[in-house]
Amino acid sequence: MTEHYQHRARKRFGQNFLHDAGVIHRILRAIHAKPGERLLEIGPGQGALTEGLLSSGGTLDVVELDLDLIPILKGKFDSNANFTLHQGDALKFDFTSLNPAPNSLRVVGNLPYNISTPLIFHLLENASLIRDMHFMLQKEVVERLAATPGGGDWGRLSIMVQYHCAVEHLFNVGSGAFNPAPKVDSAIVRLVPHATLPHPAKDHRLLERVVREAFNQRRKTLRNTLKALLSGEQIEAAGVDGSLRPEQLDLAAFVRLADKLHEQTTAAPAH
């Protein structure tokens, strides 16, 4: 059979198309979509995962930026009543416009590496709508997402994503599974938003601020890097040893520091 369309992969859209049937099946098995579920695929490309997602019997919305891929996707999937195509930038896409029930949306994507982190944060703005997310990412990014305190991978990304989600590094994928082959290894990660936040901060923005300041100079002690925000006494009062470095602190300790900062910013002025 001749192909009607020939698409050349574009670097600026981060296009590395999956062609390894074994890897595609493994991803679909990990997602295990069922009839009636609400699925959302970011960057369907030429449809490597789309096909299997649709055959689950779920309803599938896809968001693709590259105009040249739109006719290819329409040609393959438009006849399926469960398929809806949105052309545009997933970073600007309003996920509430899909009207999903709370905790229902299952998000999937072999993501362009340059947008993966901002996209995860964009999706987490509506975490209450999301049941789970399965992403193919650069392996190194997955290691940072799934990191535990104490090691070099533990940092801003780990903390701010684990604040909202349970993270599972499912499996690695070598570059030969893609066309063209990327220069780096990839991995599949599962993110499941917590039904109830295990360590809720009084003000999420203050948590972001404390974590950013602390990791700006990750070799220095907390007493040093946080001194513009909290005194040594306040750090101790939050139950944190100020002589530690940021990578030694778990999420709960960062939340205690952020809440201490909140206490200070909301305290009545002294007379």
Residues that bind ligand SAM (CB under 6 A): 13-18, 42-45, 48-49, 63-66, 69, 89-91, 110, 112, 115
By C-alpha distance, which of 46, 42, 86 is closest to 69?
A: 46
Length of the chain (residues) = 271
Which CB, 66 or 247, lies closer to ligand SAM? 66
Task: State how far the Cα of 119 lies from the Cα of 128, in Å rounded to an integer.
Answer: 16
From the CB of 37, what's the least distance to ligand SAM, in Å?
18
From the CB of 97, what's the least distance to ligand SAM, in Å?
15
What Cα–Cα distance (Å) separates residue 138 from each residue in 108, 116, 182?
Answer: 15, 9, 10
From the CB of 263, what's the least distance to ligand SAM, in Å?
40
From the CB of 198, what's the least distance to ligand SAM, in Å?
31
Which CB, 30 or 91, lies closer to ligand SAM? 91
Residue at shortest CB range from ligand SAM: 43
From the CB of 262, what's the least distance to ligand SAM, in Å?
34
Which CB, 59 or 110, lies closer to ligand SAM? 110
Which CB, 137 or 147, lies closer to ligand SAM? 137
Which CB, 73 or 160, lies closer to ligand SAM? 73
Which CB, 135 or 154, lies closer to ligand SAM? 135
Catalogue the E-assigned strands of the chain.
17-18, 38-42, 59-64, 83-87, 105-110, 130-138, 165-173, 178-179, 186-193
From the CB of 18, what's the least distance to ligand SAM, in Å?
4
**For the residues of 52-118, what is the DSSP string, one character each?**
HHHHTT-EEEEEE--GGGHHHHHHHHTTSTTEEEEES-TTT--GGGG-PPTT-EEEEEE--GGGHHH
By C-alpha distance, which of 200, 198, 264 is closest to 229?
A: 264
Q: Among all chains, which residue has been given the structure tokens 């946080």?
A: 226
Task: State how far the Cα of 63 lies from the Cα of 44, in Å rounded to an integer.
Answer: 7
Strand order in the sheet with 186-193: 83-87, 59-64, 38-42, 105-110, 130-138, 186-193, 165-173
From the CB of 64, what's the least distance to ligand SAM, in Å?
5
State which amino acid sits at residue 107: V
Which CB, 15 or 221, lies closer to ligand SAM? 15
